[in-house]
Chain A
Amino acid sequence: MLALLAQASDVFTKPTVDYHALAPELILVGTIIVLALVDSWKLERARPVMSAIAGLGLLAALVPVITLAVDGTDRVLLDGGYVVDSMSLVLKALFIVSAYVVVLLSINYMAEGDYWESEYYTLLICSVLGMTVMASSRDLIGIFIALELLSIPAYMLAAWRKGDERSNEAGMKYYLMGVFATGILLYGMSLAYGLGGSTNLEAIGLQLADLGSDGVPVVALALLFTIIGFGFKVSAVPFHTWAPDTYEGAPTPVTAFLAVASKAAGFVALIQVTYFCFIVRSDVIEPIFFVLSISSMTVGNLIALRQSNVIRMLAYSGIAQAGFMLAPFAVASSDPALSLQAVVTYLVIYAAMNLGAFAVIIAIARRTRSAELEDLGGLFTYMPGLAVAFTLFLASLIGIPPLGGWWAKFGVFASLIEADSGLGWTLAIVMAVNTAIAAYYYLAVARAMWFDDVPEGTDTSPVRTPATLGFAVVITLIATLLFGILPQVVNDVTDFGLVALGG
């Protein structure tokens, strides 16, 4: 054994490490270490500074992302398995900024709720690290490691309110379903590896293209299982069952994190395997995505109609929104650059408006102590600012211009119609109908806040929203408005399609 290893070491060449390219991840790792050390040295006294360290670490990690973007050269590491290009940088920035907003949301929630704080922030950053790795991975192993790195901390975070049964249920359900999905994913990946003879996505893609009509069943199985594995992560119907319970039971900042960053990470994984590999077999994947997309948007919407809890409603509506985001995958081969841009644009805008919605819910729940629809009655009369902000986020989620959401939907519609195929047109029409259905339940929340009377026994004295929470609402609101009024801004950063796909 040792001899073999020694022999192998002769041919081993030390890989050149581009530290600049890895700087965001390295800074995150550094932050994790600092958090762990500070926690073990200072124990209880360190609690107030943990959130600050986490926040600063995230902002510091954003710096190299920006310098890399300014530098502009694509950096390829590990024989093409790890790529830092403009697309991955946009996604990394998305993850880091989303996580920063989640930290802002968590500060008061965690401090006032008497939860473990140090571990919370450490795990959160671990998960973000997994996401940033995901954004660059172009290799089955890299993708899998990234997926586990981002998922396992999230399982624990979901169960953070350990005194509450529902939170335990949330974490347990999420964990079991996640592990189950991982099994399916691994099976799919192993088949893909068997077919492609490599873990590198590009190499597998070439092999799959060569296969032609041979081995369609195996190819279909490999692709199907891989996509299903990620389908759990993005909570696509019929793999969505964990989402509502987990969202409702988990601490609300964690729910925001799961609904935005974790879901986005699932989509990034889908982007990697689809656009850099599976797209050569569009005959196989497009019908799969078509079914996932239509069922997600329709089922998610229909169930959302009946929810009386705002967070559960957002969970189901998130499933429907995932359906919208899956739609461009169903026409991926027609104009890959356009549909890829549609997905990423949607992810960015969705992150802004959904995080904003959760920020408002957390701020409101400080007074109402619940997210039940009936407890929001008359909110406009005693918290007008938050009510208006929430209304704007809801309107953006519906897709009403000039708020960001309309541009996200517009991009999806554009990619579907550009394809000019049966799948594209069907999806466009179904999506149009679903947009109208979604308006109903989003507006149900607005209706409660504006039209209903204040429920008896509600304390309507003015409340002070903590500065961090207010700051989170303001930055997400500005982003939501900016993306809607000047869509070119988000275009300019997501306009990497052709470059990323190699022309």
Chain B
Amino acid sequence: MTDFLTDWGLILVTFLPLAGALVMMAVPRELTESHKVIALVASGASLVMGILLIANFDYDDAGALQFLVDKEWIPLINSGFILGVDGISLPLMALTLLVVPLVIIYSWNHIPSPGNPKAFLALILILETGMIGTFAAQDLILFFVFFEIVLLPMYFMIGVWGGPERKYASIKFFVYTMFGSALMLVSFLALYFLSREQTFDMRILTELGGLDIARTTQILVFGGMFMGFGIKVPMFPFHTWLPDAHTQAPTQGSVILAAVLLKLGTYGFVRIALPFLPEGAQWWAPIIGVLAVIGIIYGALGCLAQTDMKRLIAFSSVAHMGFVMLGIATLTEFGINAAVFGMVAHGLITGMLFFIAGSVKDRYHTLEIKRLGGLLISAPRLGWILGLCTMASLGLPGLAGFWGEFPAILAAYEPAPMLNQTLFRVLMVVAALGTVLAAGYLLWLFQRTAFGTPSEEFVDDPEIVDVKMSEWIAWTPMIVLIVVLGFLPSIIFDVTNPAATLIAVAAGA
């Protein structure tokens, strides 16, 4: 069993969804039910493989890559087909494996207009392969390939199944990301030619840790990666694609975007940029820290100005990813642990918020905050779930959101020794103010949508019903995790800590 998992586990986890998508291609479009079943089976099979991997993961050695697959791929450039997971990849991969089947369940009776479940679900499965592959890849070129695979499916999801401004939003998303990833590829190649080994093997590049690369070069190369990953996160001032993409995307697209896609950027910083180019990272850390904090404040202020529920949640993503980036910018193990936790927590909470927004839209056919209201009366369970998620999102202790934000702020108090302590302490204070603003806009959102009495136009609307079965199935695991991780954050911290320590040591060296 263990042998099988070691040899095939990661390959199956990564490519089972893609296999499902290929099977769907062969099935005629009219058989909508079979498409849903195939999609669920494929992503479910991938989840089962993932659970087997999680069960067999050696937690005492979480800093090391496990289930390593190392095959020849493009010998010409020393690029191999290398997959592996360690303590940092594992929680993010688990998040992806969980969210995608839930999204497919949610789609059971929520296929957005203009329909066509075949194409819609096939795109979700291709996305899943891209996302899991990105977290598993241990070769820069392979990482790049997976990183790019997610682009097109998401583009089509927004563009075909999105809202009224979908064309603008989808092309903006695509061109922004494409620009970043082209510069990122240039940086990867620079790394290849400048390093002693001329390899794309991430294990070797981590070991080298920027050896032989002059400081100024490291700063430039880091700059290229900063563009690639920073746009994906997205960091201020590259965030403008995000509110548009989120607002226009169908619910499922928003959930996947918030829960997983944004993490590809932050994960890239942690896994690639920091350990490979320590001196570059040290030069950029204050800039990243400042931009992260601007993102926190700007995102929060942006939220306060929104009149649309979905757009508000999108802006809150900018703020939350700011906390994650602040944690990364400290270059300490504490900060990186906080960042990885923050990624998972944000994925669950904001994913849930987008699910709820989608369900509200289904019932009310609008997301304009001032027309909503009285959700607790019309659909009490939905209202309370929204309440729980807003609390989690604002960082209430006892829920998952707290462990993403609080340690990140704390980490800024004591950044890595070569960084400017005063600057980071100032950032810490400003970031803490950001949490106050977060409480402001989230409570304001909850108050205006859930409290009060339903407005006249919606009083006896038969479409406004409470949580449906497919929604319960899709949401329960996420809600449970939000609560459980809030009480037992060590579930994740224990896994991430050994790997985060290694990265902090590499980046701080």
Contacts and interface: CB of A to CB of B under 8 A. Distances in A.
B178 A488 contact: no
A486 B152 CA distance: 20
Contact of A450 (B141, B156, B174, B175): B156
Contacts, number: 89
A420 interface: yes
B73 interface: yes
Given A420-B193, A450-B159, A432 B75 contact: no
B87 to A, nearest CB: 28
Interface stretch (A78-86, A123-131, A394-402): A394-402
Interface in B160-185: 160, 166-167, 170-171, 174-175, 178-179, 182-183, 185
A433 interface: yes
A432 B183 contact: yes
Nearest to B183: A432
B167 A414 contact: no
Given A428-B186, A439-B174, A495-B76, A418 B159 contact: no
B149 A436 contact: no
B182 A432 contact: yes
Contact of A436 (B145, B166, B182): B182
A435 interface: yes
A116 interface: no
A64 interface: no
B152 A413 contact: no
A444 B167 CA distance: 9
A491 B189 contact: no
A160 B188 CA distance: 48
B167 A451 contact: yes
B219 interface: no
Given A400-B148, A400-B151, A402-B149, A429 B178 contact: no
B76 A491 contact: yes
A5 B153 CA distance: 72
A439 B76 contact: no
A153 B159 CA distance: 44
B355 interface: no
A406 B189 CA distance: 14
A443 interface: yes
A488 B148 contact: no
Interface in B122-160: 141, 144-145, 148-149, 151-152, 155-156, 159-160
B160 A450 contact: yes
A435 B76 contact: no
Contact of A435 (B144, B167, B182, B189): B182
Contact of A488 (B74, B152, B179): B74
A414 to B, nearest CB: 6
Contacts of B156: 446, 450
Interface in A423-478: 428-429, 431-433, 435-437, 439-440, 443-444, 446-447, 450-451
A406 B179 contact: no
A400 B150 CA distance: 10
* Dominant secondary structure at the B interface: helix
B252 to A, nearest CB: 17
A223 to B, nearest CB: 28
B305 interface: no
A487 interface: yes
A180 interface: no
A410 interface: yes
A222 interface: no
B76 A443 contact: no
B171 A443 contact: yes
Contact of B185 (A432, A437, A439, A450): A432
A429 B186 contact: yes
Interface in A370-403: 380, 384, 391, 395, 398-402
Contacts of A486: 73
A398 B152 CA distance: 11
Contacts of B149: 400-402
Contacts of B436: none
B160 A398 contact: no
Contact of A433 (B75, B152, B179, B193): B179
B189 A414 contact: yes
B377 interface: no
B159 A451 contact: yes
Output the residue of A380, A395, A431, A451 with the most chain B CB within 10 A: A451
A401 B179 contact: no
A368 B29 CA distance: 23
Given A488-B74, A488-B75, A435 B160 contact: no
B473 interface: no
A487 B159 contact: no
A491 B74 CA distance: 9
B190 interface: yes
Interface in A136-182: none
Interface in A89-132: none
A191 B194 CA distance: 41
Interface in A337-369: none
13 contacts: A400-B152, A413-B185, A413-B189, A432-B186, A433-B179, A433-B182, A435-B182, A440-B171, A444-B171, A450-B156, A451-B170, A487-B74, A495-B76
Interface of A: 380, 384, 391, 395, 398-402, 406, 410, 413-414, 417-418, 420, 428-429, 431-433, 435-437, 439-440, 443-444, 446-447, 450-451, 486-488, 491, 495
The 6 closest A-B pairs by CB, nearest first: A436-B179, A432-B182, A401-B145, A435-B182, A417-B189, A439-B178
